[in-house]
Structure 1
Amino acid sequence: MLWRAGHRDPDVRATALLLLWAAAVIVVITPINIHRLNVWTGIPNLAAPWAYSFLTAFCATGLTMIMRWREPPSDRRRRRMTAIYWIYAGIIVALWVTFLLADVPEARIYDLDTYYASTPWMREHILLYVLAHAVSSLVSASMLWRWYPRITKGWIKSGVVCLQIGYALGLVFDIAKLGAVSARWGGHNLDVLSTKVAPPFALLEAVLVALGFIIPQAGPALQTRIRNGHDYRRLRTLWRTVQVTNASAASARFGLFTPLGLKLMQREQRIHDALRVLAPFFDHVAYQQHYEEAVAKHSEDRARGLAGAVAIQKAVKAYTAGASFTPHGQPPLIGPEVTDHLDAIGEALHRPVSSTAYASGRPAQRA
């Protein structure tokens, strides 16, 4: 779904790529998958350049995503993003070159970085990925820190908070890794920093950074879906009230996964079609009287809803009876005082009420 949406939105496409790189890192560094890769390929420790390449791609995508958020489209932004892609692509190539030049015959599933910390070329391989990750975390955190005071949208602000915490945890991961590796260079053993301390911070970083980029895009969509669902349900009773007119055109066949926005749009259109049929039977004078009574006790929107509910019910009864209800000289159509308050009318029609009760805002008792 993210990839299909990405054809229309570059930000969504970049988010999909970032999630792909993060998932790839997590899959590759799983001990069972490291062992399988060693067995399938016959190359010990091949998981290392794969995992570190995916991690480097993750860093590059995160950096460019932040630039997309902070800066409007421009040639300067495009050149900077292109430069980042080329730099990190070069780092990935260097990772593979250093791994191929290194002599790492013994497969190490848990302590590769510290076991080969002093091995020629593997030493450079390890430093390369750790420093590339540390630089991207520092630069990203710095850009977000400077940008945060200027953010006005709540969803983006929430995402930036997740990103800042995530990149801070990523720096803890880098410090732990460098501490363990440098200890090996000095003849000491602080492998626990690499094997026990660093991994949880890496996992938390991946989760929080992924959430940080997802929230600003998924949050508004989820909010819209909830609002559409609420509006769709509120209009159900109103639609059932006016559907006696059979005014709607042929409806589309909706499935389980049909967007709620499309369903809501069709329901609103059906109601508008029915109101056009009911217009000759709509008593505008009675509507205005009910509105004036209700607005003295309720808000504008609530009063419009109560008055509209009464008038529409009367129009439906007049339509069913076949008698014109609107006196001569009144508007031929139902105006925006009703059509702009369909949600409020739907809310008022949740249960049967009398016209007097509508005017006072009190639901009538069921018989």
Structure 2
Amino acid sequence: MELTDIRIPYIVPAAFFVVALLIKLPTLRRAFRDPNVRSTSLMMFLATLIFLSIAPTSVHRINTFIGISNVAAPWTYSLLTAFGGCCLSMLITWQDGPGPRRLRRTRRVWIIHAGIIAALWISFLMADVPSERITDLDTYYATTPWMREHILLYLLAHMASAMAAVRLILPWVKELESAWLRMGLRLLQAGYACGLVFDVSKLCALVARWFGTPDWDFLSLRIAPNFALLNGILVALGFILPQAGPFLRDRWTDHATYRRLRPLWQLLHSIDPSPVPIRVRHFSPLPLRLMRRQTNIRDGLLLLAPHLDDQRRGTAFHAALEAGYKEHDARGTAGAIDILVAVDLFRTATRPEGGEDSAPLSSDLISVEPISLALRSPSRIEAIRRLAENRKSSHTDG
């Protein structure tokens, strides 16, 4: 394999975590004291460094930049060890509430993993590994003193970290009510399972080399890297999903609501409702823009309140039901018809019967999304409006 070969499987997850980390930075600045935010940010940072470091071209560049042959090995293994410690720390933070127990457990995790990282660098510096190996370092130096221990240490540490995480997850996942957290833990289980396949594949190739059998090198060179990629991606997603999922769901809901309210907002904006003392720009946060749109609609409806008519709305509602519409859609269509008539009356300055003492805004106009959606179908509104007029005429004649 040439060093200039592009490894898309490494580039794609690295790019994903770079973007995720950039999105997370504002939250990190605002809530740096939150251990969940800190741990998630550190986890994404480590995942990014790992995927950027394990590509063959990156391995060669790290060795060349530092000027020590194969120094990319302890660098990458240290990142993997720190990533495992970060994941265990996050699981403990999720499970335990604030208090000395959580602090004691997370501190123990970091002390152990820091000791492993120190041992990795010591064993590497004591090993004699002059020949740069880009993809087959583990098997090539499997019998080299100190490098043998170095490789074995990182594999056993990675396996122990994964097994400890699974031990924390298994009894906990059955008790959860949060669907997002449950999905996240399922991803973690799948990720750690891939990690164990990676470890076993590497260990089998390593032991085979100890016994003088290079025939199993394919486990380390072809099988293990794929499961390493899956391990990193699934574990990182497992920690990101429980936090990003609810945020993305709420953002999607707000965006859908904002879009659905547009027809009603445009109609009421045409009668110039009272301005709201909030400066909202086009690139303002979506929740702020949604609040402004909802407030404009409410102000517009209050302005139209003297012209709205419960009886007109009720007649249109029953006409829509007779036309085969479901109750939810019938109420939205009836509200849209009533508001359209009220807008015409407002524009012509026609006084409604009852004058200033007309009833305030009716409660069935509070749910405005069905009304706004109905306004997207003028032909349907016109058809129901004619049916309502015919219904009213027939009742009057009767």
Amino acid corresponding to residue 64 of structure 2 in structure 1: V
The TM-score with structure 2 as length reference comes to 0.82
Amino acid corresponding to residue 335 of structure 2 in structure 1: G
Amino acid corresponding to residue 262 of structure 1 in structure 2: L
Superposition map of 1:220-235 within 5 A: 220-235=246-261
Alpha-carbon contact 1:278-1:316 (below 8 Å) kept = yes
Quote how far apart the aligned CAs of 1:18 are: 1.4
Q: Within 2, Cα distance between the matches of 1:149 and 1:205?
A: 22
Residue in structure 1 matching 2:174, options 149, 163, 184? 149
Superposition map of 1:198-237 within 5 A: 198-237=224-263
Aligned length: 359
In structure 2, runs of 5+ residues without a counterpart are: 1-22, 389-398
CA RMSD of aligned residues (A): 2.5
Within the alignment, does 1:166 sit opposite 2:191 as a pair? yes
C-alpha distance after superposition, 1:33-78 (max 9, x if no partner): 2212222222111101110111011111111222233344343123
Equivalent in the alignment of 1:240: 266
Within the alignment, does 1:108 sit opposite 2:108 as a pair? no
- Does the C-alpha gap of structure 1 residues 322 and 128 become closer, same or farther in structure 2, counting only changes over 3 Å? same
Superposition map of 1:35-50 within 5 A: 35-50=60-75
- Does the C-alpha gap of structure 1 residues 115 and 229 become closer, same or farther in structure 2, counting only changes over 3 Å? same
Residue in structure 2 matching 1:338, options 351, 365, 374? 365
Quote how far apart the aligned CAs of 1:251 are: 5.9
Q: Within 1, Cα distance between the matches of 2:82 and 2:282?
A: 38
Which range moves more in the overlay, 260-269 or 220-229? 220-229
Q: Within 2, Cα distance between the matches of 1:29 and 1:265?
A: 46
Equivalent in the alignment of 1:2: 24
Quote how far apart the aligned CAs of 1:299 are: 4.8
Q: Within 1, Cα distance between the matches of 2:358 and 2:109?
A: 64
Superposition map of 1:113-132 within 5 A: 113-132=138-157
Equivalent in the alignment of 1:254: 281
Q: Within 2, Cα distance between the matches of 1:201 and 1:63?
A: 20
Amino acid corresponding to residue 307 of structure 1 in structure 2: A
Alpha-carbon contact 1:144-1:160 (below 8 Å) kept = yes
Give the secondary-structure state (helix, strand or coil) at the position aligned to 1:150.
coil
Equivalent in the alignment of 2:346: 319
- Does the C-alpha gap of structure 1 residues 150 and 288 become closer, same or farther in structure 2, counting only changes over 3 Å? same
C-alpha distance after superposition, 1:158-189 (max 9, x if no partner): 22222111111100111111112222223332
Quote how far apart the aligned CAs of 1:240 are: 1.5
Quote how far apart the aligned CAs of 1:137 are: 0.9
The TM-score with structure 1 as length reference comes to 0.89
Quote how far apart the aligned CAs of 1:208 are: 1.3
Superposition map of 1:227-306 within 5 A: 227-247=253-273, 248-249=275-276, 252-256=279-283, 258-291=284-317, 294=320, 299-306=326-333
Equivalent in the alignment of 2:10: none
Q: Within 1, Cα distance between the matches of 2:41 and 2:297?
A: 39
- Does the C-alpha gap of structure 1 residues 145 and 326 become closer, same or farther in structure 2, counting only changes over 3 Å? farther
Q: Within 1, Cα distance between the matches of 2:151 and 2:201?
A: 13
Identical residues among aligned pairs (%): 42
Alpha-carbon contact 1:283-1:327 (below 8 Å) kept = no
Quote how far apart the aligned CAs of 1:320 are: 0.5
Q: Within 2, Cα distance between the matches of 1:318 and 1:13?
A: 58
Equivalent in the alignment of 2:211: 186
C-alpha distance after superposition, 1:58-103 (max 9, x if no partner): 1111112222333443431232122212211221122122222222
Q: Within 1, Cα distance between the matches of 2:224 and 2:169?
A: 23
Quote how far apart the aligned CAs of 1:150 are: 1.7
Give the secondary-structure state (helix, strand or coil) at the position aligned to 2:279.
coil
Amino acid corresponding to residue 116 of structure 2 in structure 1: I
Superposition map of 1:25-64 within 5 A: 25-64=50-89
Quote how far apart the aligned CAs of 1:342 are: 0.6
